[in-house]
Amino acid sequence: MNVTEEIRSMGEKARAAGRELAKLGSRKKNAILESMAAAIDESRKGIRDANGRDMEAARAAGLSDAMMDRLQLTDARLDGIVDAVRKLEELPDPVGQQLSQWQRPNGLEIRKVRVPIGVIGMIYEARPNVTVDAAALCFKTSNAVILRGGREALQSNMALTEALRRGGERSGMPADAVQLITTTDYAAVTELVRLEGLVDLVIPRGGEKLIRAVAEQARVPVIKHYKGICHVYVDAAADQTMALDIVENAKCSRPGVCNACEKVLVDRTIAKEFLPKLAERLGARGVELRGDEEARNVVPAMKAATEADWDEEYLDLVLAVRTVEGAGEAIEWINRHGSHHSDSVVTEDEAVKERFCAEVDSACVYTNASTRFTDGGEFGMGAEIGISTDKLHARGPMGLEELTTYKYIVTGTGQIR
């Protein structure tokens, strides 16, 4: 079987499994999730052995320490993985939920009801925990999933998937509800994202390069974010102490993630007062500041920002700082240079808050809070399969509801048109 046939065959099996999943009730699904969790728990030795082989190969291939760290499955991380599956059992099942209902003058009753999307393709990079997270989230919402992880994690992902399938089957899950692509041939990804009619949605997670390649090749819908260029705008009417806390947190609490702040815009009128404090606060945290000319006039120690700085996602302890002419210029700048992910204004001025929230075209717009809250868990969704900066279907953090679609069920008594 060549790659094309192999992936198509996986798609067909997933579609068939999806039809069976749609018939499972919430209680049954939770029992299956519990079996999955238990199977991972009892397969720790095999999973850690497999992970050891991945780690060895990674070391031989000269992967960076950061990559190695992401790849490693310690016992504590396995605890976390098992706990995450169990936590899903407690969350409400969105499938079957009635979104609205109305009756037409001719007596037709129309109900709009949440249903599974069907078959989801998940393409991701090194962290093996995504294998379990994605499988469990898709299963909880009665979707079949086809997983394609990074080649560095192949042995780990195979061991985890084997446990998930074995555990799931024990409680009545159709095994093909969870499938892992094991070929490392990149053609498998291209085939997967073109399986119109068999794959309903592809979610890529990883670096911008991976996501762009998927989006360009795809024929099926893709939900994604390329990057997070998040701004904090410090308005003239800001509580500056609050602004310092928010910028420090948004920049430093975890600089490598997509909701970290990459740029600060400061109202020109407070630049002289605010920027030295900012430089001091962030300097103490080891952050490199890159400023526009005006900012450097105030804090000459800042590096000069180049044009490229305004569109770059550093994912590091680097922050670009720019002065602007009030909220209007800040909004325009963010809409032009941001990534429509998460942007925040710090201000005590209600009119500025309102304008910023109305006009900034981002998935999540904040007033007086850190951009780091853009996260399914922090939003209270209980789980997250990804973050979308697309505008269609799902925007912002994607939890269980975002893994469903709806259908209309129309009940008649013989109505004709």
User: Which residues of the chain form contacts with a copy of itself (CB under 8 A)?
Assistant: 19, 22-23, 102, 104, 108, 110, 115, 117-118, 200-201, 215-216, 219, 221, 223, 239, 242, 245-246, 248-250, 253, 335, 353, 357-359, 361-370, 372-373, 378-380, 390-393, 395-396, 405-417
Sign of the torsion angle spanned by Cα atoms 14, 134, 393, 94: positive
**Minimum distance of a copy of itself from residue 321's CB (angstroms):** 19
**Minimum distance of a copy of itself from residue 193's CB (angstroms):** 13
DSSP per-residue letters across 150-191: -GGGHHHHHHHHHHHHHHHHHTT--GGGEEE-----THHHHH
> Nearer Cβ to a copy of itself, position 74 or 100?
100
Contacts of 216 (CB under 8 A, 6+ apart): none
Give me 21's structure tokens. Answer: 């999943």
Neighbours of 375 (CB within 10 A): 17
**Minimum distance of a copy of itself from residue 358's CB (angstroms):** 7
**Minimum distance of a copy of itself from residue 319's CB (angstroms):** 16
> Nearer Cβ to a copy of itself, position 109 or 280?
109
Neighbours of 389 (CB within 10 A): 22
Neighbours of 125 (CB within 10 A): 18
Q: Which residues of 283-320 are buried (b: 16+ CB within 10 A; e: fewer)?
A: eeeebebbbbebbbebbeebeebeeebbebbbbeebbb
**Minimum distance of a copy of itself from residue 112's CB (angstroms):** 9
> Nearer Cβ to a copy of itself, position 165 or 340?
340
**Minimum distance of a copy of itself from residue 395's CB (angstroms):** 6
**Minimum distance of a copy of itself from residue 153's CB (angstroms):** 28
**Minimum distance of a copy of itself from residue 27's CB (angstroms):** 16
> Nearer Cβ to a copy of itself, position 165 or 224?
224
Determine how β-strand 230-234 pairs with β-strand 201-205.
unpaired
> Nearer Cβ to a copy of itself, position 305 or 398?
398
* Sheet order of strands, 230-234 included: 303-304, 288-291, 318-324, 261-267, 230-234, 342-346
Measured distance CA(202)–CA(121) in Å, rounded:
4
> Nearer Cβ to a copy of itself, position 233 or 366?
366
Give me 127's structure tokens. Answer: 């962290």
Measured distance CA(179)–CA(221) in Å, rounded:
20
> Nearer Cβ to a copy of itself, position 8 or 48?
8
323 class by beta-carbon count within 10 Å (0-12 exposed, 13-18 middle, 19+ buried): buried
> Nearer Cβ to a copy of itself, position 20 or 162?
20
